[in-house]
Amino acid sequence: MDRTKTRYFTTKVGAGSLHKKPSFFSDCISETVYGDSNKILKYHKEWVFIECEDGYKGWINKFYGLVTEKKIILNILLSIHVIMDYLIQIFHLVQKWEKKLKALSQYQKS
């Protein structure tokens, strides 16, 4: 990834915590909410340092959103991405339960 270009971090969950340092053990100083798109100032492993529109600056884990080249303002693509994440999680849960039911069915036959 070319880190010389301006990039944005768009929150794809209900709320993402903003920390003083790139660690979940660091103090939480603010949060971003679904659809917020904030300028990335620097990177550290799975963390990005962002500047929010209300002036807060802090670290947020990439797990909470998307890194994009353009600022996203609550558009359909972000909504589709979030929906796809949930569908994948549901699919994995269904597969897990199918395996359990199959094992239970074989157990009952014996």
CATH 2.30.30.40 fits 1-74, yes or no: yes
Q: List, for residues 27-61, the tens digit of each pLDDT value.
A: 999 999 988 999 999 999 999 999 998 999 999 99
Q: What is the pLDDT of residue 15?
A: 93
75: pLDDT strictly greater than 60: no
Strand partners, 19: 28, 59
Q: What is the pLDDT of residue 65?
A: 94
Is pTM beyond 0.75 here?
no
Task: Give the three-state DSSP class for 106.
Answer: helix
d(CA 82, CA 64): 11
Residues 65-74: b if buried by 16+ CB within 10 A, e if exposed: bbeeeeebee
